[in-house]
Amino acid sequence: MTDIAMIEAARLRLDGHVRRTPLLSSPFLDEMAGRRVFVKPECLQHTGSFKFRGAWSAISALDPAVRARGVIAFSSGNHAQGVALAARMHGIPSVIIMPFDAPRMKIENTRAFGAEVVLYDRAKEDRDAIGAQLSQERRLTLIKPYDEPLVIAGQGTTGLEIAEQAAELKIDKADVLVPTGGGGFLSGISLALAAKAPGFSANPCEPEGFDDVTRSLQSGQRERNASMSGSLCDAIVTPQPGEITFPIMSRLCGTGIVVSDDEALHAVALAFSRLKIVVEPGGAVALAAALFHGSQLGPDVIAVCSGGNIDAEVFKMALDRHPL
Amino acid sequence: MTDIAMIEAARLRLDGHVRRTPLLSSPFLDEMAGRRVFVKPECLQHTGSFKFRGAWSAISALDPAVRARGVIAFSSGNHAQGVALAARMHGIPSVIIMPFDAPRMKIENTRAFGAEVVLYDRAKEDRDAIGAQLSQERRLTLIKPYDEPLVIAGQGTTGLEIAEQAAELKIDKADVLVPTGGGGFLSGISLALAAKAPGFSANPCEPEGFDDVTRSLQSGQRERNASMSGSLCDAIVTPQPGEITFPIMSRLCGTGIVVSDDEALHAVALAFSRLKIVVEPGGAVALAAALFHGSQLGPDVIAVCSGGNIDAEVFKMALDRHPL
């Protein structure tokens, strides 16, 4: 099980390879939200999302002989790119299983990072089964996207940075909002905050219709999404909370916040005009929650923008729908 | 005259108020450029540009009784916003003189930061004369955009950060490319690098038709631009190099690099797709120089992206003209 010692060990392995993203803010966003909103822009991380942290954490911890055979991963795109680049930086091969309807840029980038890409249909095929079979055939190590303690530990390094950066700003109480798919990012951040910033509460943020984590936290058991496609927030659409991540989230996290696709696009447009960062819709749901669903939140909110791998057409749509 | 002691003193005054922007990179950009390209994204600075540094430096150094009467500045937009926000954070009034054809967002933001905005025609009127008159009438302190030692010292804090961040990456020799208008940013960075990273060379980057600094460094005297409008790179269009900045640049800087508006737009599009940052055309000329005019540069280049205050229409044009 991931604990704070594992997260701190991951940080040592990541040191010098991962970016320490800054904490951003804008008086315009504070005014809109009616509270102070800080943004942790993991879209500025290597490969454009926090996923590089978990990928590096898992790959760097492998036995060198095992690592040399290569790794395999399944992902709608951000975990794919994180694993592909971390593998290339370790000088090992990678195979990535991606849904055929993932954003074009994510598929192309994953290939450009040197990975062999295998496409599948997320409505009809089981990516876990495909991954298990390929990893067995080629003796590759499967790097799971969230249900893997070493990946959770890597994502948790973001929480260590948030705790330190908030302390520099003399903030000792805050709501930390995290875009959530399978729950690896939220679990890691929650574990880090519980140890380093106990006054902080971490909450999942999800798109409407794909709010499995929010419903699971309410019911006390792992609920499934009815569908696996149809959201602009592709990065955080997963079937259900992870087996490993769900108990962590149940123990440590507050109530989930659900936002519409249009609110996510509005947050994309505001991140462009007010923060000068490029965020994808799934990566913007926490900022959308802070701006449009903040009534239950305290005076200081830290919204994580988890990724920025957005196609130009979707970005232009966000700017057109939500002019300044 | 600005020296390294003034820059270090400015840093102490800025500490806790200014953002330490990270150093970004992308393997895709490295491949395009044929060398390592690091980007210092000052578009992520408060108000979306490095200008906040100089504004804070100058305002924070004023005698409190003088400061309380307020400040005045003239600017196409980024200095305006920097002064307006720094004034508001000091609790003092500000008057900003802006060209009427400055980007709408810059004018609106300057007003939103609490400044009184006075518009003028940059083809017909002399902004220096307007500024001098108003500052006299109202006993406001004029915060010049570049020809002011305290402003240069504030901009130079960017150079201190570059020197430290490059040292962390074990880089001891690099070409530092800087978008250049009047030369305050380049002068400050050059002074900081000369003291802290003597293996580094700093070069001005300018848009075609507005290459006064490049021509001045060649001729050895301050040359003027033929026109003051007609460039997409509005942020860095100034009549000629500064009186104070020109001797500093002559002593410390390498040859200028001139890029086309279309190359600047291409750099805007690549900063979107590869770095996940929002850069305005004038702020992107150094990245454009690194990517498209790098043949004379060494193996490591640090391109400063100086600002991100771009209207959505111009941004969409960049993405349309330069699809990935």
pLDDT digits (tens, 9 = 90+) for A87-97: 999 999 999 99
How far CA A187 is from CA of A83, A156, A178, A242, in Å, comes to: 19, 7, 10, 10
Across B266-286, average pLDDT: 98
d(CA A108, CA A113): 9
Residue B86 contacts residue B56 (beta carbons within 8 Å): yes
Determine, for residues B277 and A44 on separate chains, whether the beta-carbon distance falls below 8 Å.
Answer: yes
Locus of tokens 């000329």: B285
Q: Does B32 touch chain A (CB under 8 A)?
A: no
Q: What pLDDT, on the 0 to 100 scale, is given for residue B297?
A: 96
Q: Does A275 touch chain B (CB under 8 A)?
A: yes
Give me the torsion for CA of B66, B72, B78, B81, rounded to 10°: 70
pLDDT digits (tens, 9 = 90+) for B194-238: 999 999 999 999 999 999 999 999 999 999 999 888 889 988 888
What is residue B138's DSSP assignment?
H
Asked whether residue B157 falls in the same domain as residue B177, the answer is yes
Closest CB from A22, A41, A278 relative to B20: A22
Chain B residue with Cα closest to A269: B312
Q: pLDDT at residue B76 above 90?
A: no
pLDDT digits (tens, 9 = 90+) for A18-60: 999 999 999 999 999 999 999 999 999 999 999 999 999 999 9
Across A124-129, average pLDDT: 85
Q: What pLDDT, on the 0 to 100 scale, is given for residue B38?
A: 98
Q: What CATH number did the domain enclosing B295 receive? A: 3.40.50.1100
Asked whether residue B128 falls in the same domain as residue B196, the answer is no
Asked whether residue A26 falls in the same domain as residue A160, the answer is yes
Chain B residue with Cα closest to A308: B276
Instruction: Give the contacts of B47 (CB within 8 A, at least 6 positions apart).
Output: B78, B81, B82, B84, B85, B109, B113, B309
* Of the listed ranges B130-134, B221-225, B266-270, the one predicted with least confidence: B130-134
Instruction: Give the contacts of A36 (CB within 8 A, at least 6 positions apart).
Output: A25, A30, A299, A300, A301
Asked whether residue B82 falls in the same domain as residue B138, the answer is yes
Closest CB from A105, A276, A320 relative to B43: A276
Across A110-129, average pLDDT: 89
Instruction: Give chain B's domain count.
Output: 2
Mean pLDDT of chain B: 95
Under the banding of pLDDT at 50, 70 and 90, the label for residue A74 is confident
Q: Does B277 touch chain A (CB under 8 A)?
A: yes
Asked whether residue A113 falls in the same domain as residue A246, the answer is no
Q: What pLDDT, on the 0 to 100 scale, is given for residue A181?
A: 94
Q: What pLDDT, on the 0 to 100 scale, is given for residue A102?
A: 81
Phi/psi of residue B207, each to 5°? -85, 150
Q: What pLDDT, on the 0 to 100 scale, is given for residue B302?
A: 98
d(CA B307, CA A51): 28
* Of the listed ranges A51-55, A61-65, B110-114, the one predicted with least confidence: B110-114
State the amino acid at position B112 in one-letter form: A
Instruction: Give the contacts of B71 (CB within 8 A, at least 6 positions apart).
Output: B59, B62, B83, B87, B92, B93, B94, B95, B140, B141, B142, B143
Q: What pLDDT, on the 0 to 100 scale, is given for residue B1?
A: 84
Q: What is the 3-state secondary structure (H, E, C) of B292-307?
A: HCCCCCCCEEEEEECE
Asked whether residue B228 falls in the same domain as residue B85, the answer is no
Across A127-154, average pLDDT: 91
d(CA A67, CA A33): 46
Mean pLDDT of chain A: 95
d(CA A281, CA A206): 11
pLDDT digits (tens, 9 = 90+) for A211-247: 999 999 999 999 999 988 888 998 888 889 999 999 9
Boundary residue ending a domain (B116, B142, B168) = B142
CA distance B82 to chain A (A): 13
In terms of pLDDT, which residue wins out, A99 or A293? A293
State the amino acid at position B5 in one-letter form: A
Closest CB from A22, A112, A324 relative to B21: A22
Q: What pLDDT, on the 0 to 100 scale, is given for residue B103?
A: 78
Across A134-149, average pLDDT: 92
State the amino acid at position B33 in one-letter form: A
State the amino acid at position B308 in one-letter form: G
Of the residues A276, A309, A321, the best mutation for testing chain B's interface (the one with the most B CB atoms within 10 Å of its CB) is A276
The DSSP bridge partners found for residue B228 are: none
Asked whether residue B83 falls in the same domain as residue B215, the answer is no
Asked whether residue B57 falls in the same domain as residue B134, the answer is yes
Chain B residues near residue A105 by CB distance under 8 angstroms: 273, 324
Q: Does A170 touch chain B (CB under 8 A)?
A: no
Asked whether residue A190 falls in the same domain as residue A131, the answer is no
Chain B residue with Cα closest to A21: B22
pLDDT digits (tens, 9 = 90+) for A75-90: 878 999 999 999 999 9
CA distance B19 to chain A (A): 8
Q: pLDDT at residue B110 above 80?
A: yes
Asked whether residue A122 falls in the same domain as residue A229, the answer is no
State the amino acid at position B307 in one-letter form: G
Chain B residue with Cα closest to A277: B277
Q: pLDDT at residue A127 above 90?
A: no
Boundary residue ending a domain (B142, B175, B195) = B142
How many residue pairs from chains A and B have C-beta atoms closer than 8 A?
77
Residue B270 contacts residue B30 (beta carbons within 8 Å): no
pLDDT digits (tens, 9 = 90+) for A194-205: 999 999 999 999
Q: What pLDDT, on the 0 to 100 scale, is given for residue A133?
A: 86
Under the banding of pLDDT at 50, 70 and 90, the label for residue B99 is confident
Q: Whole domain around residue A206: which residue ranges? A: 4-50+149-321
In terms of pLDDT, which residue wins out, A300 or A107? A300
State the amino acid at position B237 in one-letter form: V
Percent of chain B with pLDDT over 70: 100
Asked whether residue B20 falls in the same domain as residue B70, the answer is no
CA distance B43 to chain A (A): 6
How far CA A227 is from CA of A79, A102, A105, B276, B311, in Å, comes to: 21, 15, 23, 30, 37
Q: What pLDDT, on the 0 to 100 scale, is given for residue A198?
A: 95
Q: pLDDT at residue B285 above 80?
A: yes
Percent of chain A with pLDDT over 90: 85
Across A266-287, average pLDDT: 98
Phi/psi of residue A119, each to 5°? -95, 145
Q: pLDDT at residue B129 above 90?
A: no
Residue (of A109, A125, A150) closest to A2 by Cα position = A150
Asked whether residue A262 falls in the same domain as residue A286, the answer is yes
Boundary residue ending a domain (A96, A115, A142) = A142
Q: Does A272 touch chain B (CB under 8 A)?
A: yes
In the sheet that holds A116-120, the strands lie side by side as A116-120, A94-99, A71-74, A141-142
Write down how long chain B is. Answer: 324
Residue B46 contacts residue A23 (beta carbons within 8 Å): no
Closest CB from A48, A276, A279 relative to B308: A276
